[in-house]
Structure 1
Amino acid sequence: MADAAANTVARVREFNRFYTRVIGVLEAGLLGTPYSLTEARVLFELAHRDEMGVSELRGLLGIDAGYLSRILGRFAADGLVVREAARDDGRRQLVRLTAQGRIAYGRIDDGQVRATEQLLDPLDEDGRRRLVAAMDWIRRAFGDAPLPRTLVLRGPRAGELGWIISRHGAREAEAARLVADFACRADPREAAWIAEADGEPVGCALCLADETDPRAARLSLLLVEPVARCAGIGSRLVAECVRSARAAGFDRVRTHAPVDSAGARVLGRAGFEPDGNEWTCTC
């Protein structure tokens, strides 16, 4: 496990080195301008506000107060910003871009647009979609992205039954058995769903015939990826399973979930009643 963790760290660092080279962070000036990446970010934040408190700007950027002071001092000397005390609190310092500062920001912004267009130019539409989806995934993984913009529930595509198995980790053997039984039976009353958010699979569920009760269906292998939780995806999958079971003629849906789990909360909201860790919903 220690070797695996070390390998992951090494690969992340390798990607960081690659990407900083791609976007030109290591160059003396960003996109041929006299400004560093941090200085360009300061201009960006100020360009999107009429004025801003210096302490608020420092908190937003997460940089040292002395470093920010030196940046703003240079900008003020170049005529890009004006710093002044707030009218209602002389201890609070405000900063805003001058007209010259907005021109400087505009040049950087135009250059970044052109550079990004050139970066994307070799990619076809599918490649661009996959790139943006991967970037969104990384942002969600580190808590800095909005919830998925589009959500589709659909049947598994080629290879995605294997994806369902692989995503169940410690339960992989059980998942493999359930998926294999589902695929082999081809029972028209049974169904499987992939939750696709912004073009990428982020969840799944199976609605299977219960092996011990001919009138019941079983909600199995319900999963939502951590980066896509709190978007109602689990609730959508559970509701679709209940709807499908009802249409197939089942009287009830059963499933298993620890009573103190996040999945139990989703089941409770969907009308499932617990009996220990076993949950039942009447269709």
Structure 2
Amino acid sequence: MVTRNAPEASDTQAPSADPPASPLAERAARLRAFNRFYTHRIGATRQDYQDSPYTLAEMRILYELAHRDGATLSSLSHELGLDAGYLSRTLKRFTQQGLVAKWQSKADHRQMLLTLTKAGREAFAPFDVRSQQQAESLLAALPEAGQTELIAHLAQAEALLTGSRTDVELRTHRPGDMGWVIEAHARLYAQEYGFNGEFELMVAEICAHFLKHFDPERERCWIVERAGQRLGCAFVVQKSKAVAQLRCVLLEPAARGLGLGRRLVNEAIGFARDCGYREMVLQTNDCLHAARALYEQAGFTLKSEEQHERFGVKLVGQEWVLNLDGRK
């Protein structure tokens, strides 16, 4: 009698499943999914983009030529990431159609500069208007706060991908800023901590008092702004001749993680020192973990804390203090 050897374990096991994707691969897949969603949403995959006789790439070339005084073949190829051969053939066709003109650069006779002709601008203008209207239509479907948040997130994405932070501005307050400060605090604290309208009232009172009693030599409000969008704020107000108070430090979600909170706090501390204050104080609540860490990093120490029920939730209120003149 012949017996068969028992099968190896590998002979009886089902094929193993694919290994789990790495976090980077999952994020890349999500980014690709968004690209597919957005290009489909704006009709970029259609041959007749914006119901025009031009492809998306051709429309992009026309846009660049319409918004600059002169461009070269090499500069367009580099900035648009287009193959020089494809770009040259497209420009030749546009020139034959009377849409593009060429002339010799006075600075470098080897360079030929490109621009749209009058006919080219007239041909492109309706599609430029249509693209603007499409963008406005997408935004109009959102509430104003949603529009602001979307634009801020897009600006953050651009800054992250380009490594640029130069478009972020810290400026002093202007008319209309206090309304945003109140709205942003009420909206974010309701979303993130469950605060009720009592908190909005308190911020409104802080802003009203600041405007009514503002001393430009001893007080300051900073607004964080990028691409025309307000993203954050901080106040230094005079509590006494020797004591400054840091108030209303806030960043929109799209502005977090970029070092702007630290920049705001350091700016406030430097201003208070320059004004001759000996001490800076602030009041916060223990649930604001990121803010507390920021204050500790800046040198503030916890002076006192007390449980209370305010703004519709149970909280532990805290007072922090920073010595500004080096004295103990």
TM > 0.5 fold call? yes
- Tell me, in whole angstroms, the C-alpha distance in 1 between the residues paired with 2:116 and 2:161: 31
> Residue 134 of structure 1 corresponds to which residue in structure 2?
153
Following TM superposition, by how much is the alpha carbon of 1:24 offset from its aligned partner in structure 2, in angstroms? 1.5
> Residue 282 of structure 1 corresponds to which residue in structure 2?
325
- Tell me, in whole angstroms, the C-alpha distance in 2 between the residues paired with 1:230 and 1:5: 27
Are residues 1:100 and 2:131 paired?
no
Q: Give yes or no for contact 1:147–1:231 (8 Å, CA) kept in 2.
A: no
- Tell me, in whole angstroms, the C-alpha distance in 1 between the residues paired with 2:66 and 2:259: 32
> Residue 235 of structure 1 corresponds to which residue in structure 2?
266
CA-to-partner distance for each residue in 1:118-156, whole Å, 9 max, x for gaps? 222321212211211211221122236722476889797
Q: Give yes or no for contact 1:141–1:227 (8 Å, CA) kept in 2.
A: no
> Residue 246 of structure 1 corresponds to which residue in structure 2?
279
Are residues 1:147 and 2:168 paired?
yes
CA-to-partner distance for each residue in 1:179-210, whole Å, 9 max, x for gaps? xxxxxxxxxxxxxxx98654546x99xxxxxx
Q: Give yes or no for contact 1:79–1:101 (8 Å, CA) kept in 2.
A: yes
Distance 1:230 1:126, change over 3 A: closer
Q: Secondary structure at the match of 2:112?
A: strand
Distance 1:63 1:121, change over 3 A: same
> Residue 144 of structure 2 corresponds to which residue in structure 1?
125
Q: Secondary structure at the match of 1:282?
A: coil
Q: Give yes or no for contact 1:79–1:98 (8 Å, CA) kept in 2.
A: yes
TM-score for both structures, normalised by structure 1: 0.59
CA-to-partner distance for each residue in 1:4-38, whole Å, 9 max, x for gaps? 22221111111111111112111112211111222
> Residue 79 of structure 1 corresponds to which residue in structure 2?
98
Amino acid at match of 2:279: R
Moved over 4 A (4+): 148-160, 194-197, 223-226, 228-232, 240-245
- Aligned pairs for 1:254-265 (under 5 A) are none
- Tell me, in whole angstroms, the C-alpha distance in 1 between the residues paired with 2:146 and 2:32: 24
Amino acid at match of 2:267: R
CA-to-partner distance for each residue in 1:66-109, whole Å, 9 max, x for gaps? 12102201211211001233345432111121111011221111
Q: Identity, % of aligned pairs?
A: 29
Q: Give yes or no for contact 2:65–2:115 (8 Å, CA) kept in 1.
A: yes
Q: Which moved more, 1:225-234 or 1:35-44?
A: 225-234
Q: Give yes or no for contact 2:65–2:116 (8 Å, CA) kept in 1.
A: yes
- Aligned pairs for 1:51-62 (under 5 A) are 51-62=70-81
Q: Which moved more, 1:147-156 or 1:127-136?
A: 147-156
- Tell me, in whole angstroms, the C-alpha distance in 2 between the residues paired with 1:110 and 1:231: 41
Q: Which runs of 5+ in 1 are unaligned?
A: 165-193, 205-222, 250-254, 258-262, 265-278
> Residue 128 of structure 2 corresponds to which residue in structure 1?
109
- Aligned pairs for 1:150-169 (under 5 A) are none
Following TM superposition, by how much is the alpha carbon of 1:51 offset from its aligned partner in structure 2, in angstroms? 2.3
- Tell me, in whole angstroms, the C-alpha distance in 2 between the residues paired with 1:45 and 1:248: 52
What is the Cα-based RMSD across aligned positions, in Å? 4.6
> Residue 190 of structure 1 corresponds to which residue in structure 2?
none
- Tell me, in whole angstroms, the C-alpha distance in 2 between the residues paired with 1:247 and 1:231: 16
Q: Secondary structure at the match of 1:90?
A: coil
- Tell me, in whole angstroms, the C-alpha distance in 1 between the residues paired with 2:128 and 2:109: 33
Distance 1:248 1:13, change over 3 A: closer
Amino acid at match of 1:147: V
CA-to-partner distance for each residue in 1:262-281, whole Å, 9 max, x for gaps? x89xxxxxxxxxxxxxx984
CA-to-partner distance for each residue in 1:236-278, whole Å, 9 max, x for gaps? 25447868972559xxxxx887xxxxx89xxxxxxxxxxxxxx
Q: Secondary structure at the match of 1:101?
A: helix
CA-to-partner distance for each residue in 1:25-63, whole Å, 9 max, x for gaps? 111122111112221121122112232222222232232
Are residues 1:21 and 2:64 paired?
no
> Residue 203 of structure 2 corresponds to which residue in structure 1?
none
Q: Which runs of 5+ in 2 are unaligned?
A: 1-19, 194-221, 235-250, 283-294, 300-321
TM-score for both structures, normalised by structure 2: 0.52
- Tell me, in whole angstroms, the C-alpha distance in 1 between the residues paired with 2:137 and 2:170: 26
Aligned residues: 218
> Residue 17 of structure 2 corresponds to which residue in structure 1?
none
- Tell me, in whole angstroms, the C-alpha distance in 2 between the residues paired with 1:117 and 1:72: 30
Amino acid at match of 2:76: L
- Tell me, in whole angstroms, the C-alpha distance in 2 between the residues paired with 1:231 and 1:139: 21
